[in-house]
A and B are shown apart, each in its own frame.
Chain A
Amino acid sequence: MIKVKINGQEQSWDGDPDLPLLWFLRDEAGLTGTKYGCGQALCGACTVIVDKEAVRACITSVNDVAGREVTTIEGLHTNGDHPVQKAWRQLNVPQCGFCQAGQIMQAAALLMDNPKPSHDQIREAMSGNICRCGCYQRIENAVHLASTGV
């Protein structure tokens, strides 16, 4: 039995320990905010925060996060008012929105690590997250806005 804390709640799993965290979150725990985009850590749609680090849930097994704390988009902020989320809304970042949970989690992790990133640092930190709609200009500006106070 694997125990893992997700958004502050203890969850357990007695199935395949190698099951990717992504599918545990989405299909077993019902937390569908974390998205599948590639399954190979190439697009960042499944980004969650484990302890204080952004990880790709599609190549992280449930076993890998045993005893650790996982934060998904649903748990980022009680009311959805994390500075990154507010900045995203202020700049109307999303188009289709599918990649945005991963983008927001990546940005939130960046700001935990580096509260005042430069534009180059933002671009570097966000370069693992693909947006097919092409919202990059607004993503960059929203991360900057979140870091300077929304």
Chain B
Amino acid sequence: MNFIDNSRKLRGFEKHVRVEKVSRRSILKGLGVTGGFVLAAPVMSRQAFAYETGAGKMPHGVVVDPRVFVSVAPDGIVTIVGHRAEMGTGVRTSLPLIVAEEMEADWTRVKVQQAHGDEVKYGNQDTDGSRSTRHYLVPMRQIGASARTMLEQAAAKRWGVPATEVKAVNHEIVHSASGRKLGFGELAADAAKESVPSIEGLKLKDPKDFRYLGKGQIGIVDLHDITTGKAVYGADVRLPGMKYAVIARPPVTGGKLVSFDPDAALKVPGVEKVMQVRGWPWPSKFQPLGGVAVIARNTGAAIKGRDALKLVWDDGPNGKYDSVAYRKELEEASRKPGLVLRKEGDADAALKSADKVIVGEYYIPHLAHVAMEPPVAVADVKGDKAEIWAPVQSPGGTREDVAKTLDIPEQNVTVNVTLLGGGFGRKSKCDFALEAALLSKELGAPVKVQWTREDDIHNGFLHTVSVERIEAGLDKSGKVIAWRHRSVAPSIASTFAAGTVHQAPFEIGMGLVDMPFEIANISCENPEAAAHTRIGWFRSVSNIPRAFAVQSMVGEIAQATGRDQKETLLALIGSPRIVKPEVKDLWNYGEPQDSYPIDTARLRKVVELVAEKGEWGRQVPKGHGLGIAAHRSFVSYIATIVEVAVDDKGKLTVPRVDTAIDCGTYVNPERIASQIEGAAIMGLSLAKYGEITFKDGKVQQKNFDDFQLVRIDEAPAVTNVHIVPPGPDTPPSGVGEPGVPPFAPALINAIFAATGKRIRSLPIGKQLEA
């Protein structure tokens, strides 16, 4: 498989992505604060910590430069740039908070400024892969420490004392020997004249002096605006003279417009124009699918106009895609040998000689992201310049793609990043911004392209569909001696390269080849699967089917041997050790294995912690059951216990959830809790209802009535989150995604405990009613 041509598009395919050194323009502008803090020389990122991360290998790497991220105004207001996209994880608060901590800035006198898309200036901005804290904890500390040092040097010069005698304390520089103090604002102009200290010489704060980090007492910066309706999401951008557009897109991926009749649409009050939108051939990467746009004075009129369009489509090569037939194909493929990705011992022989073989064939369907804010973007293209306002997870990638799509220089494109009304991976693809850019160029006016919920569900980049087949061979004592896992699923790479039939390293690296169990004979295989729709990253990605299969199989082994689920799980994880799977190019979430090994001691620990705090083994009422699951993803370790209650009609409720997470050194435990609470809801949604199906190439669901999500009346009564305190210098790891994968298997194991029914196919739907 060759990704070279697509390398810049495949964000997340680090292995194939151009590795760039930090390179910035020679002249970097400050933040435009008059009389403010404009620092002198650029600083290269270097690691001053005990561990390295994969941050430097991301496109455009890391920029550690206080001039780019920090400014101090004469009135003392410190402005810190948030360069990642805020979609609900709290990153727009957390990263600037790290800078403020190290700088000794008082958070009440800090303003956060959202960066536009400019990776040359800010470094990588792809807000995905649960990477922000893990890649930026150190750089943000270094940026804050640089700014603090410069303020200290300026004060020391003013007072004529050695810099070692002064210290930054809560927005002031203090000379304790003389009792003199100067505020940050009073020193801003002088500090700007100081040279930027070398990273090696920076003195970072002792964590015991942290005021903010690890405390969880700072609310998100947008909290007031969100609760008063003032927060600006992509959908909320309004420009003078702006037109409103909705687009009718091909109902089948790879389909094309044959003809259209705009007459009825043009008669709808408020509709101004109907026009064709350029589409790209399948596989179309992040480029628009094409179709017909209705332009109107408001969105309501545009939608009504679109309803009146007469459209004829050619469905193209995927017009027969049918989920029932495709599932059979996947199942059949899973029953035959596939490309062997990991081989340790001889699983075939061991399965033959095993006393007992347990086979589980697990099915996990396509899922749609359905962020509450459907895709939306505003574009204003004038001549060879384009300005975009959009809720994008990939501000830098969006800028590149807009430039390429309009064939204008990248520096002529400004991407303003609004708040995201949810992302979950959908907004890593900027097709909606490209549509707006194309329409604005043609109309010569600013345009907002609004996707309806139906558009979002019909024309998304879906989570893959997979069959995960696991065969576990047990010896007479019940010990697992053989493990064969075949994963069959269309790959995200198929959205970029025609003919893709195998999963990419970053997909097989999510719970297939990095499986941590201590088993003598292991075979991990990937039989072929071709895609018939656009596949994309969905929160937690391939970890969802993998954790579901592997942790369900743990439950099945416990069931077959009559042993406790948790003890079975711990026995499989085995001794505390560093697992080094025999795999070519272990992806490891793009992280070096030295800093981020597969550490079974940490996996055991979250199991034990959740068992203790979640009162594993407690007596539960009749009809209730407890289930457990653990999984390593995004280099974090997580374990979940679900208590389920199933009534005599098969209706399930979830009285209690406990999750333990070890995400290393962390910034804001309060936001970790919110992510894990939310992950339980997302996990419950996908387990109970989550399924996108195709017939005749078309998605059969359309809105929240037939693609249902869990509502508050079905939510777990309580979700408790237990965070493992980090050891010294434990590298930070992912939080946004790891919470989702263990939920469904813990629930399914709980359902077995409650009912004796083993569910191997998601969603649960009506399976408990039978």
Interface residues of A (CB under 8 A from B): 15-16, 19-20, 22-24, 26-28, 30-40, 42-43, 45, 72-74, 76, 80, 85, 88-89, 92, 94-101, 104, 122-124, 126-140
List the 8 shortest-distance A-B pairs measured between CB atoms, nearest first: A33-B229, A134-B681, A98-B421, A96-B88, A23-B300, A134-B678, A73-B229, A95-B88
Give the CA-CA distance A87 to B311 in the complex, in Å: 49
| Chain B hits for A38, CB < 8 A | 453, 703-704
| Chain A hits for B228, CB < 8 A | 33, 73-74, 76, 80, 85
Please, how many residues of chain B have a CB less than 8 angstroms from a CB on the other chain?
67
The smallest beta-carbon distance between A45 and chain B, in angstroms, is 6
Give the CA-CA distance A150 to B458 in the complex, in Å: 43
Among A28, A104, A135: residue with most chain B CB under 10 A? A135
Interface residues of B (CB under 8 A from A): 86-90, 219-220, 222-224, 226-233, 235-236, 238, 244, 268-270, 297-301, 303-304, 370-374, 419-424, 450, 452-453, 670, 674-675, 677-682, 703-705, 709-713, 715-716, 718-719
The smallest beta-carbon distance between A85 and chain B, in angstroms, is 4
The smallest beta-carbon distance between A116 and chain B, in angstroms, is 18
Among A73, A88, A130: residue with most chain B CB under 10 A? A130
The smallest beta-carbon distance between A143 and chain B, in angstroms, is 10
Check B226 against A94 for contact (C-beta < 8 Å): yes
Closest to A45 in B: B372
The smallest beta-carbon distance between A58 and chain B, in angstroms, is 9
The smallest beta-carbon distance between B638 and chain A, in angstroms, is 16
Q: Which of A73, A126, A132 contacts B422 (CB 8 A)?
A: A132
| Chain B hits for A140, CB < 8 A | 712, 715
Check A98 against B373 for contact (C-beta < 8 Å): yes
| Chain B hits for A80, CB < 8 A | 224, 227-228
Q: Which of A36, A72, A96, A104 contacts B374 (CB 8 A)?
A: A36
Give the CA-CA distance A30 to B228 in the complex, in Å: 15
Give the CA-CA distance A36 to B223 in the complex, in Å: 20
| Chain B hits for A131, CB < 8 A | 372, 681, 712
Among B270, B420, B421, B680: residue with most chain A CB under 10 A? B421
Check B238 against A30 for contact (C-beta < 8 Å): yes
The smallest beta-carbon distance between B692 and chain A, in angstroms, is 15
Given contacts A23-B299, A135-B678, contact A99 B372 (CB under 8 A): yes
Closest to B451 in A: A36
Closest to B674 in A: A95
Check A134 against B235 for contact (C-beta < 8 Å): no
Give the CA-CA distance A113 to B559 in the complex, in Å: 50
Check B223 against A132 for contact (C-beta < 8 Å): no
Give the CA-CA distance A132 to B450 in the complex, in Å: 19
Check A97 against B88 for contact (C-beta < 8 Å): yes
Check A19 against B227 for contact (C-beta < 8 Å): no
Closest to A88 in B: B227
Give the CA-CA distance A140 to B268 in the complex, in Å: 42
Give the CA-CA distance A45 to B87 in the complex, in Å: 16
Check A24 against B223 for contact (C-beta < 8 Å): no
Q: Which of B235, B301, B716 contacts A36 (CB 8 A)?
A: B235
Q: Which of B89, B220, B231, B371 contacts A132 (CB 8 A)?
A: B371
Given contacts A23-B300, A96-B419, contact A135 B674 (CB under 8 A): yes
The smallest beta-carbon distance between B62 and chain A, in angstroms, is 26
Given contacts A16-B270, A94-B220, A136-B681, contact A40 B453 (CB under 8 A): yes
Sample of 13 A–B contacts (CB below 8 Å): A15-B270, A15-B301, A16-B268, A22-B300, A24-B300, A32-B235, A37-B373, A43-B704, A73-B229, A92-B674, A94-B226, A133-B422, A134-B679
| Chain B hits for A72, CB < 8 A | 229
Given contacts A98-B372, A135-B677, contact A92 B219 (CB under 8 A): yes
Check A94 against B703 for contact (C-beta < 8 Å): no
| Chain A hits for B710, CB < 8 A | 134, 136
Q: Which of B372, B421, B452, B711 contacts A39 (CB 8 A)?
A: B452
Check A130 against B679 for contact (C-beta < 8 Å): no
Check A42 against B704 for contact (C-beta < 8 Å): yes
Give the CA-CA distance A47 to B206 in the complex, in Å: 48
The smallest beta-carbon distance between A77 and chain B, in angstroms, is 8
Q: Which of B90, B223, B299, B301 contacts A26 (CB 8 A)?
A: B299
| Chain A hits for B268, CB < 8 A | 16
The smallest beta-carbon distance between A146 and chain B, in angstroms, is 12
| Chain B hits for A135, CB < 8 A | 674, 677-678
Q: Which of B87, B220, B372 contacts A130 (CB 8 A)?
A: B372
Among B220, B229, B422, B715: residue with most chain A CB under 10 A? B229
Check B226 against A100 for contact (C-beta < 8 Å): yes
The smallest beta-carbon distance between B180 and chain A, in angstroms, is 38
Check A133 against B678 for contact (C-beta < 8 Å): yes
Given contacts A39-B303, A134-B677, A134-B678, contact A96 B227 (CB under 8 A): no
Given contacts A27-B244, A38-B703, A138-B677, contact A16 B301 (CB under 8 A): yes
Give the CA-CA distance A89 to B420 in the complex, in Å: 19
Give the CA-CA distance A10 to B159 in the complex, in Å: 61
| Chain A hits for B89, CB < 8 A | 95
| Chain B hits for A42, CB < 8 A | 703-705
| Chain A hits for B670, CB < 8 A | 92
| Chain B hits for A33, CB < 8 A | 228-230
Give the CA-CA distance A136 to B674 in the complex, in Å: 10
Closest to A140 in B: B712
| Chain B hits for A73, CB < 8 A | 228-229
Q: Which of A15, A20, A26, A132 contacts B370 (CB 8 A)?
A: A132
The smallest beta-carbon distance between A64 and chain B, in angstroms, is 13
Give the CA-CA distance A43 to B373 in the complex, in Å: 11
| Chain B hits for A35, CB < 8 A | 233, 235, 372-373, 421
Check A98 against B422 for contact (C-beta < 8 Å): yes
Further 11 A-B residue pairs, CB within 8 A, beyond A23-B300, A98-B419: A27-B297, A40-B704, A72-B229, A92-B220, A92-B674, A98-B371, A101-B226, A132-B422, A134-B710, A134-B715, A136-B712
